[in-house]
Amino acid sequence: MKRTLIGFCVVVLMLVAWTGLAERQTERFTFPDGSTIVQHKLISEAETFSKIVSADKRMEVHFLNVGQGDCILILCPNGKRILVDGGSSTKKFDPSPAKDYLVKQLGSQQRIDALVITHPDKDHYNILPDILEDIDIGHIYLTGKPNEYRVANVNQWLREFPASDRTILTAKKFNTKPPKKLGDFGEAQVVVLAANVDGTGSYSETNTRSIVLKVSFGTIDILLAGDATLDTEADILERVALSALDVECLKVGHHGSRTSTGVDWVKAVKPEVAVVLAGEKIYGHPTHETIQRLEPFTATADPHRFVYYEKKGSDPDEFTDYAEAIYATSKSGNIVAVTEGKAIDITYDN
């Protein structure tokens, strides 16, 4: 398995740059072979980190805390920006903090070059009109037709964009061997591992249809699983070479539900770092079962806050000293993965 090592010079450079900018806690992941990855937790706002290294030399993946939902911002080395989903099923959710966060990260150029809506479940799309207000959108990629996105009138919002600015990812065109690229994002390679997989008879037809992306820069791979089900994962495993699935970081499918992140999938992906986007207790995400599948592969990390549930409706098992490189937005807030192509740093709010 690939290991993400931070060279001595890079660490020294970052430590010098951070001096006086923010209170920090340095964390080190340790792998079975003795190799390490250094993690820097900034106590101040995440954008402090964004100013340290020139934007044309790194890729950032921001996992926004939107409660029970998904919202992921990718800042590519060539300056292009990708937003994957924007939704929440948390009751009375206020999208203002997420919008403010996006505005800060986008800076002087308030533009998203590609918007990817993984599937038509409201916790992946219902806040998009709010958080993207006054932000230009270059192209929209989605599964299903606009009329499937009815919550919060997103179907009407989607129709405001010309048909030429929308691409429906079909299984026939994108579930290929080898996988196809989503578009041109410079040094960042974005490939579609799955889209619109037939979900007939599966746990959730819409979840099975999720767009699954692998985003790569240099030797670092980050896999964004949407709400992919066990059926989606099986489809990918049948088509895609195992060597192409071994990644450094996994956005865990379906908020850590037991209906995703199967044993065969985890053995293929082998994530050293995992991120769970989840919020409300009533859903019971992530499940202990899912976390147990991940733990044999994730690195050891310095203690941080984490939570999991035995089942839906059960009381949470909460930790202040969890020592695996698995993070949840419900406890860590906004989580950011930053890479210069050879290593991966994880920062978080809490």
The yes-or-no verdict on residue 141 having pLDDT over 60 is yes
Is residue 50 in a domain?
no
The pLDDT of residue 29 is 53
Residue 39 lies in a domain: no
Q: Where are the alpha helices (DSSP H) in 2-62?
A: 8-18, 47-50
d(CA 350, CA 334): 8
Does residue 307 lie in a domain region? Answer: yes
Is 273 in a helix, a strand, or coil?
strand
Backbone torsion region of residue 310, taken as left when φ is above 0, otherwise alpha when ψ lies between -120 and 50, otherwise beta: alpha
Burial category of 274 from C-beta neighbours within 10 Å (exposed 0-12, middle 13-18, buried 19 and up) = buried
| 342 falls within a domain | yes
| Res 206: pLDDT | 95
- Whether residue 160 lies inside any domain: the answer is yes
Q: Is residue 37 a part of any domain in this protein?
A: no
Rounded-to-10 torsion of CA 158, 163, 167, 170: 100
Question: Considering its fold, how many domains does the chain have in total?
Answer: 1
Q: What pLDDT band is residue 237 in, cutting at 50, 70 and 90?
A: very high
Q: Using one digit for the tens of pLDDT, what is the confidence trace for 283-307? A: 889 999 999 999 999 999 989 999 9
User: What SS3 state is found at 302?
Assistant: strand
Min mean pLDDT across 119-123, 183-187, 198-202, 304-308 is at: 198-202
Report whether 192 contacts 215 (CB < 8 A): no
Q: Is the pLDDT of residue 102 over 80?
A: yes
For the ranges 30-39, 147-156, 247-256, the lowest mean pLDDT is seen at 30-39
Mean pLDDT of 249-266: 96
DSSP string, 123-142: GGTTTHHHHTTT-EEEEEEE
What pLDDT, on a 0 to 100 scale, did the predictor assign at position 226? 98
Which amino acid belongs to residue 276?
V
Predicted confidence at residue 37, as pLDDT, reads 53
Domain extent, residue 189, equals 58-348
Looking at residue 56, its pLDDT comes to: 52
pLDDT above 60 (res 40): no
Distance (Å, whole) CA 322 – CA 132:
35
Q: How confident is the model at residue 20 (pLDDT cuts 50, 70, 90)?
A: very low
Residue 349's pLDDT is what?
94
Q: What is the CATH number of the domain that holds 293?
A: 3.60.15.10
Q: For residue 235, is it within any domain? A: yes
DSSP state of 281: G
For 313, list phi and psi in degrees, rounded to 5: 95, -10
Q: Does the model's pTM come out above 0.85?
A: yes
Say whether pLDDT at 183 is over 80: yes
Answer with the residue of higher pLDDT: 154 or 53.
154
If pLDDT is split at 50, 70 and 90, which confidence band does 135 have? very high
Mean pLDDT computed over 111-137: 98
In the chain, % helix, strand, coil (3-state, to 5) comes to 30, 30, 45
pLDDT band at 39 (very low <50, low <70, confident <90, very high): low
Average pLDDT, the chain: 87
Q: Rounded to whole angstroms, how far apart are CA atoms 66 and 73?
A: 12
Query: Could you tell me if residue 10 is inside a domain?
Result: no
